[in-house]
């Protein structure tokens, strides 16, 4: 008989059990922003369906010499498990101080936390909370000196890993966000006020923490700009299309680990490695950029085949369970990032949700590997059902 290992396990033993509570606690526009994709949202469904379609063949007659080993080497560090928190923009809109809660929990759990450029928390604050577990995700800007200034801040704060996102070459157009008036700042109208009033805990927490802003961009903006002016200016400042030549510039400017996020084509992963990237996040940006893009788990085997076994591949997209993490690892990833799952947990349970989400994903991964008969992360590919 299984018993809960902590007080929250009985009520919230998985991300799926947290999801209804999260939806009931945050406004509709915040929910749509977190959970939605782009267009008809076929890509969101594809991410889930592709993961679910990965099956594994357990081995029952072989002996296991011990419990599965989850510790994973990546970028010169040993992590407690092969997963971490993906960068999520506007995290404090989903739940106030969500980035701070997740950064603290990640450090305690021995996992990485990646902070978005468009986070509602400053990179300095998160570095102070997560310490060496903090990674910084960069949306490139058109002005080299501004990029240098942000990179300098990240270096001075102690970040060792820079995650450069390349899959946002154009301004996004997400129907639900347009309809909801979601943005920084939001469109304030009767419907938004009404939806906010329906979620009093979220509204009060937001009131206590102040209006969310692009905290990492504020120091690089002219003084006195409103949030609306700052948002418009940031969109004009962004350098969307990161060519291989531009990637080489970032390789020269950043002395630490450089990870390129958002590649799906095998030849582009090879090119990123040739330019000097230390790793790649295989990702379709949570199906939030182009509805026709394949999921990471669909393209991982081909990418792994061309880069060989030693080049670090991270992956994300649709992860909700430890089994999903295992599926991505078995398909060729060395490490897995998740965004929605962690922010759902904080939306559901506040600060306690951060640690609970990491606990349940780790437990699910360990138990599922044990059921499979696999002791090592690196051996998961041997259990992949390749006939499907």
List active site positions.
285
Which DSSP symbol is given to 381? G
Report whether 109 contacts 83 (CB < 8 A).
no
Cα separation, 11 vs 77, in Å, equals 34
- Where are any strands of DSSP class E within the chain? 72-74, 77-79, 83-85, 113-115, 134-138, 161-165, 257-263, 279-282, 313-315, 335-338
Cα separation, 310 vs 134, in Å, equals 24
Cα separation, 361 vs 320, in Å, equals 8
CA angle 310–312–314, rounded 5-degree value: 145
SS3 238: strand
Which DSSP symbol is given to 69? B
Report whether 292 contacts 191 (CB < 8 A).
no
**Residue listed under structure tokens 């700042």:** 185
Cα separation, 243 vs 240, in Å, equals 9
Number of Cβ within 10 Å of residue 336's Cβ equals 27
Cα separation, 163 vs 347, in Å, equals 25
- Beta pairing partners, 315: 282, 336
Cα separation, 388 vs 372, in Å, equals 18
Distance of CA 39 to the CA centre of its chain: 21
Report whether 139 contacts 168 (CB < 8 A).
yes
Among the listed residues 293, 150, 303, the one whose alpha carbon sits nearest the alpha carbon of residue 234: 150
């Amino acid at each position: 008989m299984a018993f809960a290992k902590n007080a929250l396990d009985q009520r919230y033993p998985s991300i799926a059990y947290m999801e209804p509570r999260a939806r009931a606690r945050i406004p509709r526009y915040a929910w749509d922003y977190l959970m939605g994709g782009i267009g008809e949202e076929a890509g969101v469904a594809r991410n889930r369906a592709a993961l679910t379609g990965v099956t594994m063949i357990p081995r029952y007659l072989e002996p296991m010499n011990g419990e599965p080993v989850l510790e994973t080497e990546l970028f010169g560090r040993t992590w407690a498990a092969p997963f971490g928190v993906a960068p999520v923009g506007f995290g404090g809109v989903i739940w106030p101080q969500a980035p701070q809660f997740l950064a603290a929990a990640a450090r305690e759990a021995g996992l990485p936390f990646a902070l978005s450029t468009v986070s509602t928390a400053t990179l300095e604050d998160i570095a102070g909370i997560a310490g060496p577990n903090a990674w910084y995700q960069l949306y490139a800007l058109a002005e080299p000196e501004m990029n240098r200034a942000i990179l300098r801040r990240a270096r001075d704060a102690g970040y060792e890993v820079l995650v450069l996102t390349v899959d946002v070459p154009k301004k996004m157009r997400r129907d639900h966000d347009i309809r909801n008036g979601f943005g920084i700042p939001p469109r304030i109208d009767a419907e938004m006020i009404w939806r906010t009033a329906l979620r009093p805990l979220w509204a009060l927490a937001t009131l206590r923490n102040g209006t969310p802003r692009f905290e990492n961009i504020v120091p690089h903006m002219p003084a006195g700009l409103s949030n609306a002016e700052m948002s418009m200016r940031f969109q004009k400042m962004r350098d969307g299309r990161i060519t291989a030549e531009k990637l080489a510039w970032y390789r020269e400017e950043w002395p630490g680990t450089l990870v390129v996020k958002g590649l799906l084509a095998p030849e582009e992963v090879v090119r990123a490695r040739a330019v000097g990237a230390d790793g790649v996040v295989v990702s379709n940006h949570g199906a939030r950029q182009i509805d026709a893009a394949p999921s990471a788990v669909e393209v991982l085997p081909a990418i792994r085949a061309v880069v060989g076994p030693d080049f670090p591949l991270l992956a994300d997209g649709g992860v909700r369970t430890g089994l999903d993490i295992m599926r991505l690892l078995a398909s060729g990833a060395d490490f897995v990032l998740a965004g929605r799952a962690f922010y759902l947990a904080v939306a559901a349970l506040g600060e306690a949700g951060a640690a609970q989400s990491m606990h349940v994903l780790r437990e699910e991964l360990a138990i599922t590997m044990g059921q499979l008969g696999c002791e090592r992360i690196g051996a998961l590919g041997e259990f992949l059902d390749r006939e499907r």
